[in-house]
Amino acid sequence: MLHMAAGELCVRARTMADSPPFDFNEWLSLLDLDAIPDPRDKLRECEFFFDLLSQQTERDRFRWLVAAFLNAAYSFFESSSLTAYFRFNDHETGEPVEDSQALEVLRRYVNVMRDAKRPNFVKTGGLVPLTKQLYDFRKKSTHYYPLSLMATGPSLPEDYHFGSTRGKGTPVMALCRDVLGLIQRVQQEIDE
- What is the per-residue pLDDT for 172? 98
pLDDT tens by residue, 95-143: 888 999 999 999 999 999 998 899 889 999 999 999 999 999 999 999 9
pTM across the whole model: 0.82
pLDDT over 70 (residue 11) = no
Q: How confident is the model at residue 6 (pLDDT cuts 50, 70, 90)?
A: very low
pLDDT tens by residue, 42-53: 999 999 999 999
Q: How confident is the model at residue 19 (pLDDT cuts 50, 70, 90)?
A: low
pLDDT tens by residue, 151-190: 999 999 999 999 999 999 999 999 999 999 999 999 999 9
The mean pLDDT value for 20-31 works out to 79
Domain boundaries defined on the chain: 41-191
User: From CA 150, how far away is CA 138, in angstroms rounded?
Assistant: 17
